[in-house]
Amino acid sequence: MIEQAAKVLRSENDKIFVEVNSQSSCGSCSAKAGCGKSLLDNVFKTKPLNISVDNTLGAKVNDDVIVGLNESALLQVSFYLYLLPLLSMLFASIMAVYLMPAPYSEISSIAAAVIGLFAGSRYSRGVLNKKEISQQQKFQPVLLKVMPNILST
């Protein structure tokens, strides 16, 4: 389970809406002063992510909470979003090189790569939409722990 700290913004019925700030490991890295990722993180500030979570532990507004996401769900989504389109692009490009005659192989390889990337992305999108419907629970974050805000009372 991948865990992340969040703050409860509001509560409606049996759901809470939390704000999750994205974190990187740059703060603990010794090379952060000369790292491009750290520089880009400072230039392009990311907005916090607002998500809804089932309130199974009775969290209240302004509570700090820990939310979790299933690791296998994250790996599946990463495969379909990144690896599958890249593999289809590579496969289409290689097939174009071997199937086209020599003077046209380079341009056909480029065109096939773009088509393969697009086709792989579309296929991944369809598979993820079906998985989201059939495995709704697996892709939803869950509330793991509530840390009441003592100072607000």
| pLDDT for residue 89 | 97
Cβ atoms within 10 Å of 67's Cβ, excluding its own: 20
- Across 82-86, 104-108, 134-138, the highest mean pLDDT is recorded for 82-86
Q: Which of 14-23, 99-108, 112-121 has the largest mean confidence?
A: 112-121
Higher pLDDT: 85 or 63? It is: 85
> What is the C-alpha separation between 70 and 80, in angstroms, rounded?
16
Among residues of the chain, what percentage have pLDDT more than 90?
Answer: 22
Summarised one tens digit per residue, pLDDT across range 109-123 is: 999 999 999 999 999
Is residue 81 pLDDT above 50, yes or no? Answer: yes
**pLDDT of amino acid 134:** 63
CATH number of 1-69+141-153: 2.40.50
Question: Residues 139-150: what's their mean pLDDT?
Answer: 79
pLDDT grade for 24, boundaries at 50, 70 and 90 = low
Q: Which is more confident, 65 or 21?
A: 65
The pTM of this model reads 0.62
